[in-house]
Structures are given as C-alpha cells and as structure tokens.
Amino acid sequence: CRLYFTQIGIGTPAKSYYVQVDTGSDILWVNCVSCDTCPRKSGLGIELTLYDPSGSSSGTGVTCGQEFCVATHGGVLPSCVPAAPCQYSISYGDGSSTTGFFVTDFLQYNQVSGNSQTSLANTSITFGCGAKIGGDLGSSSQALDGILGFGQSNSSMLSQLAAAGKVRKVFAHCLDTINGGGIFAIGDVVQPKVSTTPLVPGMPHYNVNLEAIDVGGVKLQLPTNIFGIEESKGTIIDSGTTLAYLPGVVYNAIMSKVFAQYGDMPLKNDQDFQCFRYSGSVDDGFPIITFHFEGGLPLNIHPHDYLFQNGELYCMGFQTGGLQTKDGKDMVLLGDLAFSNRLVLYDLENQVIGWTDYNC
C-alpha cells in the first residue's frame, strides 16, 4: 500500500504534523492530546505529535452554534446547547474512522513564491481535533498525525484558504512511484500544460465521465450504461485510494483481454489479488489499458503501473469494486495506481480535472 503524506505546521508556536493527503474527503484533522487510542509511535520513522489546543496561544474551540459548524452539518445539531463544542465524525471507505471536535488555529504551509522557490505562509483555519480513531488509523505501522482532505466542500482547507483570498481554488499532485514522494502544490500550474475533462456537477467526490476503455488499442464491448453517473455508479478519482476498483463486468472484460495470449497461465488468488509468475519485462509482455474521458482526454495505464511485484509473483492492481465497499460495486474508483508519475491538476474554479505524464 502506498501512502502519500505531507508536513504542515499548526499553532503558535507552530509544531509540525505529518498528514496523509486525501482527495476523497474534505476535512483536515490531527490527533489530539485527549485521544487515548491514538498511536504514539510510527513505523514510518517520523515523530508523531498530538495537538494540544491549550498549548497554542492562537488556538480556540468552535462551538456548535457558530457559522462554520452550522454550515458543515447543514443546520444546527439537535444536541446543540450554547458553548458546547462542534463535533465531527468521519468514516472512510476502508472502514477506518475519526471523531472529535473542531478548533481554529494558525496553519503554516509552504507556498510557491518563485521558480522552484517556496516561502512560509500563515492563515487561520478550522480543522478537526481527533479524540478517537478506529480501524487502520489506530495501527502504528503506517501511523500519521492525521488526514488532510482536499475535497470540494466549504469545510476543506483549500476552500477556507480560497475564501480568505489566500489562494486560487486549484491544486495539483505528482506521485513518484519510482523513488517515492512527489509534489503536492496549491495554486496555478504554469508548466506543463494539462488537457482536462469536466467534473460532474453536484457530486461530493471528484467524479468524471468515463466513456470507453481500450486494452491494447482494442475497445472493450461493454453494456451501454455501465459508466452512468447516477448515485451508485460513476467514476471517481481519489488520491487517498492506492489501487483501482471496477464493476465486475468491466474487471472481467479487462482480465480476459490482458491475459488473452496466456490462456493457460495459472492465476493464484492471494488476499483477493490475482497473481501469477512471469519472468520477462511486463511492459513487453502485457498491453496498455486506456481509459477515455469526456472531451477526448485519454489515460494510459502501463503494465508496470497496473501489475505490482509481490515476492516472486506479479499481481493485478485492479480489483472488483465490491471488495472495497459493498455500495461501490458498480463504480469505477481510480486511485494512485492510475495516476503515478503524472501531474494531476484539479481546477475547482473551472470545475475541470486533467493530467499529463511528468517526471515528478
């Protein structure tokens, strides 16, 4: 599992926090001193820090009657009494969760100030103070201080920075799967130029219109409404997901085409992955899979992206959607596997998303 995280500063004096970057959720939150179950050590070799609102001279609590709380919850919570804290609760697709309360404090972040130059910027924003975590977030092997949501809602850090007039509502990432790490940037991308496809309006995630899929240049024959945009269908782009998930009928069609010339190759099921032995270069032996989006934007996924090494085996990085969540079985969910070593641009002002190959 690949994990992409960045460093931000919070509070006065500022302390450093390491947060996972996730385009599939909205809120920034970090674990707080009141959290008993939060990891104290991380297998990633980073120093974990618990946020203490009383340890920052600029930190203040958010009450449930305040505008931010009312807007985030779509109205005043029934349990709200004057001066009570504004609570939050988030569940993620993998079953992990966080609950806590909102606070407002100074956020310190790097802003591009010139060609390959960054400078520190400081802005007051509202974020979650995590009092309890569940699922994989509680395990220390890949523990971080929190999650930085880059969704579209008004509660996201990007929306707050944009509303304060600090940045344009545009961000980009470039994930380097060869050396690890990559680039995450807020604001305009001048170079390289990026072709785009429209975002589907009124969706909570980054939904796009997928029109067709080719394997090795041959278009897959699929049911006509398979990529519809209604509630339980559609195509989502999400950097918080490592792999790519497809409706069963699409997955089966791709698998049969990818392995068409290896009819007798035995596939081994290893923790829900289809794996096999192969000795040559996968880029020479397997086809490119191309997703075609509205506006003519293609996404070429090479064999070295969709096949990953697991010991002596290669495994297929695509899975059927039902394996991730039961309500996602008819959706296409494209995670980092599909966008590695590409600059991906999210232009929320113009409601488009695009990408281009790039050496991160």
Active site residue 272: no
**Residue 238 catalytic?**
yes
Cβ-based neighbours of 308, under 8 Å, separated by 6 or more? 314, 315, 317
| C-alpha span between 242 and 244 (Å, rounded) | 7
- Which residue is it, tokens 């394997």? 215
Burial class (CB in 10 A: 0-12, 13-18, 19+), 239: buried
- The closest alpha carbon to 54, from 108, 11, 102, belongs to 11
Q: Which residues pair with 85 in a beta bridge?
A: 63
CA-angle at 25, arms to 214 and 345, nearest 5°? 50
**Residue 253: CA atoms inside 13 Å, Cβ hemisphere, count?**
18
Phi and psi torsions of 337, nearest 5°: -50, -40
- H/E stretch holding 183 reads strand 182-186
Residue type at 183 in one-letter notation: I
Q: How far apart are CA 188 and CA 108, in angstroms?
A: 19
Which residue among 22, 26, 145, 305 is the active-site one? 22
Distance CA 225, CA 233 (A): 9
Distance (Å, whole) CA 303 – CA 311: 17
Q: Which of 28, 9, 100, 14 is nearest to 57 (CA)?
A: 14
Q: What's the longest Cα–Cα distance across the chain? A: 69
> Of these residues, 26, 105, 145, 238, which one is catalytic?
238
Q: What are the backbone dihedrals phi and psi of residue 124, each rounded to the nearest 5 degrees, phi first?
A: -80, 125
Which positions are catalytic?
Answer: 22, 238
